[in-house]
Structure formats: C-alpha cells, structure tokens
Amino acid sequence: MPVWQVLLGAALLTLWEVGSRAGWLDKFYFSRPSDIAARVTEWIASGSVWPHLGTTVLEAALSFLIGGALGVATGFLLARRSWLGALLDPYIRIGNALPRVVLAPIFLLWFGLGIWSKVALGVTVVFFIVFFNTFQGVREVDPVLIANARMLGARERDLVKHVLLPSALAWIFSSLHVSVGFAIIAVVVGEYLGSARGIGYVIAQAEGVFDITGVFAGMTVLSAVVLVVGAAVNAAERRLLRWKVRG
C-alpha cells in the first residue's frame, strides 16, 4: 500500500481518536479507534471471531464464484446469440431491478438460516454485475478481428478461447473488482437479517445491546477481508493480463 494512503488513514484515525477523547464526538455513537482495535485484538486472541469470519468468507466466496461463473457464461451466450439476448432482455432487466433486501427474507424462507440463503442473495448481486460487463465486453470485440479469425478456420470454441475471452478479460476483471465488495455486503446483510453465525450476526448482536464498539469492530474485520480479497483479485488480473499494454 502506498505511503500516502497509509498516512491518510493514520491521520483520519488520529483525528477520530482525538475528537472522541476531547468530547467532540460522542463515544456512545462513534466509539474510539483504540477501543475498536482492542476489541478486534480480543476477538482474535480468544478465537471467538474465527468461526464467524470463516462462515462469512465461505458464503462470500461461494457467491462470488457461482455468481461470477454464471455471469460470464450467460454474458458470453447472450452476446453471441443476439436473438436470445433480445428475448430475455426484459426479464434480465426486471431481475436486476428487484430490491435485494426484499429477496433476502424470501431466500431465508426457501433455504433456511444456513449458508445457502446468504449465498443465493450474494449470487443475485454478483451475477448481474459480471453479466452486464461480460456482455458488453464481448459485444465490444472488433468484428473485423472476429471475421479474420473465421477466415482462418476458427470455430466458435476457438473464437471464445483465443479472441473473445482475452478481449473481454479487462471488462470481466472490472466487474470482479466491484462484485467482491458487493458479495460481502450481500451475505452480511443476509446474516444481519437472520442467521446463527457470521460477521453480520456479530454486528446484529452488538447493535442489539447498543455496543457501538462491537459494531465498528465487525466493520473493521470486514474491511480487512475486502482489502485482502481485493489484493488477490489485483494479483490475478496482473497475471492474466500481462500481455495487455498499459499506458
């Protein structure tokens, strides 16, 4: 992480701490960075956070993988089959417009309080983000390039592997960067609404007893997870797009 980013974060946390201790910020509503760090350290030392964190990470990973795979596959299919894309267009738009908060209780009824109700909610978020980017990325491929590949005897499978997928990778990774955070948000919202384990459950329990430090500590743990996963996606992008010339 660049030095200036670290310094900015340290400055904001210092202002927050000073403001809380000076009485500018009410500790009941905002807590203190030092208290939040102490709570996170306590959770890690006692091991109480690991089962909840593991559940949330598993749910987010399944949502990300399933939603991403379905989004990429559907995006390629509808981009290459324009008649099918036109047929399903209104239904896709309706599905994307449905409020996820409304879907969460329905999935809880269908799949129960276990991980799959949260995974289903996460998939509905990730799928549409990845789908629209993949669809647009495939449609943006130069038709002359596709025609030249066909003249050289490339079949549809060859086009996907050697032309369409490499050309659309930048679009796909752009959607993955966004969908990582949204996958975590979706599963945490599902946990918050109804679950027996997970960081969302921890936050809901802390909120129920007006433990603002516990709420911020849960958010801090989630922030760390997002940074780690984002770094992993960045590393994968650099590895797969090594051929791409960057300005």
Cα–Cα distances in angstroms (integers) from residue 39 to residues 21, 36, 56, 206, in the given order = 18, 5, 19, 12
pLDDT of residue 39: 93
- Crossing angle between the packed helical segments 49-80 and 82-97, to the nearest 10 degrees: 150
pTM, rounded to two decimals: 0.82
pLDDT of residue 50: 93
DSSP result, 179-201: HHHHHHHHHHHHHHHS-SSSHHH
The residues of the chain scoring below 70 in pLDDT are: 1, 152, 240-247
What CATH number was assigned to the domain covering residues 30-240?
A: 1.10.3720.10
pLDDT of residue 244: 57
pLDDT of residue 243: 55
DSSP result, 23-68: TSS-HHHH--HHHHHHHHHHHHHHTTHHHHHHHHHHHHHHHHHHHH
Any idea what DSSP says for residue 113? T
Rounded CA-CA distance 130/75 in Å is 8
pLDDT of residue 242: 65
pLDDT of residue 55: 92
The encoded tokens of residue 143 equal 């038709």
Residue 61: how many CB atoms within 10 A of its CB? 17
- Burial class from Cβ neighbours inside 10 Å (0-12, 13-18, 19+) for residue 183 reads buried
Q: For residue range 208-245, what is the model confidence (pLDDT) as tens digits?
A: 888 899 999 999 998 888 888 888 878 877 776 665 54
